[in-house]
A = this chain, B = another copy of it.
Amino acid sequence: MLPPLLPVTTAVVLFSIRNERLEVLLVRCAAGAAWALPGGHAELDEDLDTSARRHLEAQTGVRGLYLEQLYTFGRPDRDPERRVIAVTYYALVPAGRLGLALPADGFAWLPIDALPALELDHADVVRLAHQRLAAKLEYSTIALQFMPEHFTLSELQAVYETILGAPLDKRNFRKRVLSLACIEQTGEVSRQGHHRPARLYRVRAPGKVEFIR
């Protein structure tokens, strides 16, 4: 008796912070009006993580992102066309790191709190990814994955405030992140705007997300 065989896809919720908003990258479906997450079929001899990265890279040009498996969706009726398993991931990209700053035609960065209708169960996927990201802010250094190579503490604080959707106290915030010792001063300053320059920081171990508490 042969085992049942199923098509397996990977899909990625790619987050970025643009214009003080948390946004996700969506692709306009070949078929119609709806939007979908980037992704596609996993090959026969391809690891799932690799498949997710490959599709993301092919469609957006970005490499080396922080990528984490989210959940596997497999309801038989999730795609009315045919039964497909979707192994979903989420990834974070610093605002400046996209090869195509404004992605090519058919792609769009859309704010998470005002998404259009999404294909299949992709709205559930985005919601779950958002929950996970917000939860992970509390007990890990994942937010650093949104930062460019050099950044100011105010910029980092703005990232936290954007994801949490609430303002934070400046002094308490600085105390906390500096006590984690996961970022360090570059020695340079950022001279932008008509005001005192801000010290620049960099991540001590880029690409590594550490647990705190």
Contacts and interface: CB of A to CB of B under 8 A. Distances in A.
Interface size band for A: 20 to 34
A162 interface: no
Contacts of A42: 4, 6, 74
A85 interface: yes
Contacts of A69: 71-72
A45 B95 CA distance: 41
Contacts of A100: none
Copies, count: 2
A74 B45 contact: no
A174 to B, nearest CB: 24
Interface string A183-198: 0000000000000000
Contact of A41 (B3, B46, B74, B83): B3
A47 interface: yes
Contacts of A3: 7, 41
Contacts of A5: 5-7
By CB atoms of chain B within 10 A, which of A4, A43, A71 has the most?
A4
Given A45-B83, A48-B85, A7 B4 contact: yes
Interface string A53-92: 0000000000000000101101110000001010100000
Interface of A: 3-8, 41-48, 69, 71-72, 74-76, 83, 85, 87
